[in-house]
Amino acid sequence: MSEGVEEEPVRPPDPRRAFRGPASACLVLEAIAVPLVLPVMNYVEGGITAAKLALVVVLTVGMIVGCVVILKPWGLRFAVGLQILMLLGWVLSPSLGLMGLIFCLVWGLMLWMRREVIRRQEAWFAAQ
C-alpha cells in the first residue's frame, strides 16, 4: 500500500444496484423498439392516429428518461409504470399492446431474478 493513499472500504455486492445495468439496457432496447411499431400501425391497423402517435412518442421519451432515472430510488417503479402503460396501449393499438405484453414478460423475469438474488444473498449473509 502506498503512503498517503487510502483504500475505500469494500462494500458487499448489492443486487439492487447490479440490477440497474440490465434494467437500463432493457429500456434502451425498448426505446429503439417502440417507434418501430409505427409502420405496423400504419399498414396493419389502417393508419396512425394522433393518439397512437402521441402514445408512441410518450413511451419512447419515457424509456429514454427511464435509463437515467433508474438510478433513483423510485426509478424501478417508473420503469414498471412504463411497462404497464405500454401494455394498456392495447386499447389504442393491438400491435403496441402485444409488444407491451412481451416486454412485461421480460421485466417480470428480470424482477423475479432480482428478487431471487436478493433472497439468496440475504440467506447467505444470515448463515455467516
The answer to whether the beta carbons of residues 104 and 87 sit under 8 Å apart is yes
**Coil/strand/helix, residue 13:** coil
**pTM of full prediction above 0.75:** yes
2: in domain: no
Q: State which residues form the domain around 54.
A: 16-120
9: in domain: no
126: in domain: no
H and E: helices and strands count for the chain = 6, 0
Cell 409505427 belongs to 38
1: in domain: no
For the chain, the domain total comes to 1
| pLDDT of residue 2 exceeding 60 | no
pLDDT, tens digit (0-9, with 9 covering 90-100), for 34-64: 999 999 999 999 899 999 999 999 999 999 9
Amino acid identity of 47?
Answer: G
Could you tell me which of 70, 81, 82 has the C-alpha nearest to residue 34?
Answer: 82
